[in-house]
Amino acid sequence: MDVSGSPSYLLDTNITAYIVSGRSKLARRLLGETLARGPVAISTVTEAEILYGLAIKPEAARMRDAVEKLFQAIEIKAWDSAAARAYSTLRACLKRDGKNLAVADLLIASQALSCGSILVTHDKAFQHAAAYVQIEDWATDLSEQPNRRGHTRTR
């Protein structure tokens, strides 16, 4: 929590992408509401992943503008020694539990843990870390998506 008593939020890469692209209207709305009450941030790990996505799509000028606008509205937290310490603990706990996360996901979850932030993600893989990191899904409007044949699947 920040000094005002409001919880702080750390956005994962997929939520950040859904906000920037407009794919999740709910995530966009919740970001606006949350920014009015307290801090919202991304990790430098998420920043790197988003910038990589733009680097492989140099023609995406409109997306680049949306990313820059979002980056100006939120805090970008450097991955630091406190996150490294949280990483070692979280990774050991997950290993003990027989669970695993992709490296970037583990880095982001560790940073949320070290900052005392709520991790905002739509990635179900983070449920492995839910016993250790508080998680919210701001993109529940994407939970049921029809596939190409018109069948609905739950992610």
At 33, list the tokens.
């509401």
Which strands form 135-136's sheet, in the order they lie side by side? 75-77, 40-43, 9-11, 118-120, 135-136
pLDDT over 60 (residue 66): yes
pLDDT digits 0-9 by tens, 78-120: 999 999 999 999 999 999 999 999 999 999 999 999 999 999 9
At 136, list the tokens.
């919210």
Per-residue pLDDT at 116: 96
Domain boundaries, the chain: 9-139
pTM over 0.95, yes/no: no
- Mean pLDDT score, 71-80: 96
Per-residue pLDDT at 153: 41
Per-residue pLDDT at 148: 46
pLDDT over 50 (residue 42): yes
CATH 3.30.110.40 fits 9-139, yes or no: no
Per-residue pLDDT at 152: 38
| Cβ-Cβ contacts under 8 Å for 110 (sequence gap 6 or more) | 83, 84, 86, 87, 90, 91
